[in-house]
Amino acid sequence: EPEVTQTPSHQVTQMGQEVILRCVPISNHLYFYWYRQILGQKVEFLVSFYNNEISEKSEIFDDQFSVERPDGSNFTLKIRSTKLEDSAMYFCASSVGTSGNEQFFGPGTRLTVL
Amino acid sequence: LAKTTQPISMDSYEGQEVNITCSHNNIATNDYITWYQQFPSQGPRFIIQGYKTKVTNEVASLFIPADRKSSTLSLPRVSLSDTAVYYCLVGNAGGTSYGKLTFGQGTILTVHP
């Protein structure tokens, strides 16, 4: 069964550094998403991406964040100048469409900012 | 976006049927009801989606009354591996027109031996 993959599984960084989280969505999916989950809290939507541009973003997704689909398979989330409060699980998801289509989530990247 | 209310936690035993009810009093006409499951340190996983009446798949059943103001996820004969957080989401096919999913706190289901 096809699945969404994410790398790395765990990323440790120093405050102020930039990190890039990588995702490989399911190959025939057209919509891509990033969510995050701070430990013990609910899953929060960050951004959706379709046709090489952002479709929607949340208030969390400010100028510190950016997404890119650099090639036909990868989907990345860049976090610039990381802060302690950026520590969380970051989940990538993809779907065929948006109407009536389930989203498939990856296993997540645990980001720890020291 | 319709607000959902579900129990914070539930306990069950192996082999029992578990029913988790979600209230969504202000559900809109074009909203679907979707349930996701999340194990610790894993991403959410789609379980089932429905609009009205009853939907059944190999994992669960979803019961939606005629007024659609609530829904019940039914897990038959749970096992220890069903211990997880279960989320009820209400929106246009599980989210806005761009697919955004809005998760609440979910229901922590603990299955005991």
pLDDT tens digits for range B78-100: 999 999 999 999 876 544 555 78
Nearest CA to B90 out of B44, B14, B30 is that of: B30
User: In the sheet that B61-64 helps form, which strands lie side by side, from edge to edge?
Assistant: B18-23, B70-75, B61-64, B53-56
Give the mean model confidence (pLDDT) for residues A63-76.
93
Residue with tokens 């990538």: A92
Residues 6+ positions from A29 with CB-CB distance below 8 Å:
A94, A95, A96, A104
**Do the chains contact at B49 and A93, CB–CB below 8 Å?**
no
pLDDT tens digits for range B1-22: 668 999 999 999 999 999 999 9
pLDDT tens digits for range A10-52: 999 999 999 999 999 999 899 999 999 999 999 999 999 998 9
Q: What is the pLDDT of residue A57?
A: 93
Taking CA–CA distances from A105, the nearest residue in chain B reads: B43
Provide, as residue numbers in chain A, all residues whose Cβ is less than 8 Å from the Cβ of B98. Answer: 31, 48, 50, 55-56, 98
